[in-house]
């Protein structure tokens, strides 16, 4: 197998699809029993464990961890790294806080294994934002896969271990504020009934103007495209830590917390083609935000 993925919720399924679609043989394992959607079947091979995923690869082995931050990621790392050799790579593409990356990178480096953190945000069809942190050596090995994953989107080696998750966190915070600004503007357009403005049409036109910050599709749709991971609110903590004012980003984060409270539900990151549980139950993470 050419690459391994542990975890098919969130980014995992999207990555599997991209690589399988590019003709790569992808080994996948999901602890919750999620299966990959039909269109993924060709090119993806379900393994019985994270260990099996690692063992199915040839050097340089590259295993992408796409599991929730915290315990799940620690567990996956503990299972996978003993199966790797010097020169292999573990990529943490989950929602871990960027603080964790340097520590993990140092620990793995002591046995010659590369570590990279990767922030993945799925965008419109065929395009994703893939932000990598890690040594130049790690980036060289991972770059081809990362570029395929990005498709017509963005791949960037942002800096050392931690930089990938950090930039993703800041980008999330900015995106949240931007989307909210658009939503508020759209509400004001629709609200001016005497003009009978077509907010969607106007947004299309403004976006077609190809300004660097045009209006997104469907302004006012309640957060379908919002990246609402836990790390997204980290921008607020970061601003306090750096003593750098970020009032707009913080406000957007706080407003989202308010909405989340009202809804009474966690807001998952919606990734195209997220897997469904083998038992047929709808995966919480499949819910439209």
User: In this chain, which of 202, 223, 272, 273 binds a copy of itself, going by CB under 8 A?
Assistant: 202
Closest to 61 (Cα-Cα) out of 136, 142, 117, 166: 142
Q: How far apart are CA 43 and CA 7, in angstroms?
A: 16
Q: How far apart are CA 277 and CA 39, in angstroms?
A: 16
- Site residues for a copy of itself, 140-199, by CB under 8 A, read 150, 152-156, 158-160, 162-163, 166-167, 170-171, 173-175, 177-182, 184-185, 187-189, 191-192, 195-197
Is 48 or 244 the residue whose CB approaches a copy of itself more closely? 244
Q: Judged by CB under 8 A, does residue 118 bind a copy of itself?
A: no
Closest to 263 (Cα-Cα) out of 210, 226, 208, 232: 226
CB of 140 to a copy of itself, least distance (A): 17
User: In this chain, which of 56, 250, 269, 274 binds a copy of itself, going by CB under 8 A?
Assistant: 250
- First-last CA distance in the chain: 34
CB of 71 to a copy of itself, least distance (A): 18
Q: Judged by CB under 8 A, does residue 127 bind a copy of itself?
A: yes
Q: Are strands 154-159 and 26-29 parallel, antiparallel or unpaired?
A: unpaired
Q: Judged by CB under 8 A, does residue 246 bind a copy of itself?
A: yes
CA distances from 236 to 177, 202, 230 (A): 12, 32, 11
Is 86 or 188 the residue whose CB approaches a copy of itself more closely? 188
Is 44 or 236 the residue whose CB approaches a copy of itself more closely? 236
SS3 state of residue 169: helix
- Site residues for a copy of itself, 213-242, by CB under 8 A, read 213-217, 233-240, 242
Q: Which stretch binds a copy of itself (CB under 8 A): 9-17, 49-57, 120-128, 277-285?
A: 120-128
- Site residues for a copy of itself, 32-61, by CB under 8 A, read none
Tokens 């040594």, located at residue = 135
Q: Which stretch binds a copy of itself (CB under 8 A): 2-10, 12-20, 61-69, 126-134?
A: 126-134
CA atoms within 13 Å, Cβ hemisphere of 161: 22
CB of 68 to a copy of itself, least distance (A): 16
Cβ distance 86 to 111 under 8 Å? yes
Q: Judged by CB under 8 A, does residue 248 bind a copy of itself?
A: yes
Q: Judged by CB under 8 A, does residue 93 bind a copy of itself?
A: no
Q: Which two tokens stand for residue 117?
A: 């953190």
Cβ distance 19 to 27 under 8 Å? no
Q: Judged by CB under 8 A, does residue 280 bind a copy of itself?
A: no
* Beta strands, E only, the chain: 3-6, 26-29, 34-35, 44-46, 62-65, 89-92, 114-122, 128-133, 154-159, 276-277
Q: Judged by CB under 8 A, does residue 110 bind a copy of itself?
A: no
Is 187 or 281 the residue whose CB approaches a copy of itself more closely? 187
Q: Please state whether 10 falls in left (phi above 0), alpha (psi between -120 and 50) or beta.
A: left
Q: Judged by CB under 8 A, does residue 126 bind a copy of itself?
A: no
Q: Judged by CB under 8 A, does residue 109 bind a copy of itself?
A: no
């Amino acid at each position: 197998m050419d690459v391994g993925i542990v975890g098919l919720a969130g980014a995992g399924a999207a990555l599997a699809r991209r690589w399988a679609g590019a003709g790569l043989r992808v080994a996948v394992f999901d602890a919750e029993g999620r299966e990959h959607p039909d269109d993924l079947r060709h090119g993806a091979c379900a393994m019985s464990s994270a260990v099996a995923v690692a063992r199915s690869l040839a050097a340089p082995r590259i295993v992408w961890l796409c599991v929730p931050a915290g315990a799940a990621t620690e567990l996956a790392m503990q299972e996978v790294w003993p199966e790797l050799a010097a020169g292999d790579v573990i990529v943490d593409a989950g929602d871990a806080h960027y603080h964790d990356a340097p520590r993990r990178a140092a620990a793995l480096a002591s046995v010659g294994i590369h570590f990279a953190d990767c922030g993945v945000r799925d965008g419109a069809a065929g395009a994703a934002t893939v932000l990598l942190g890690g040594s130049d050596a790690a980036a060289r090995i991972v770059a081809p896969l990362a570029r395929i994953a990005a498709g017509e989107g963005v791949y960037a080696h942002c800096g050392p271990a931690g930089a990938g998750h950090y930039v993703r966190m800041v980008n999330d915070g900015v995106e949240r504020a931007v989307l909210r600004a658009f939503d508020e503007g759209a509400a004001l357009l629709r609200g001016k009934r005497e003009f009978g403005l077509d907010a969607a049409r106007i947004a299309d036109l403004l976006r077609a103007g190809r300004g660097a910050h045009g209006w997104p599709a469907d302004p006012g749709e309640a957060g379908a495209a919002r990246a609402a991971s836990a790390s997204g609110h980290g921008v607020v903590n970061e601003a306090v830590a750096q003593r750098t004012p970020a009032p707009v980003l913080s406000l957007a984060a706080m407003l989202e917390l308010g909405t989340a409270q009202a809804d009474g539900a966690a807001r998952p990151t919606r990734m195209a083609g997220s897997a469904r549980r083998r038992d047929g139950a709808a995966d919480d993470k499949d819910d439209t935000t």
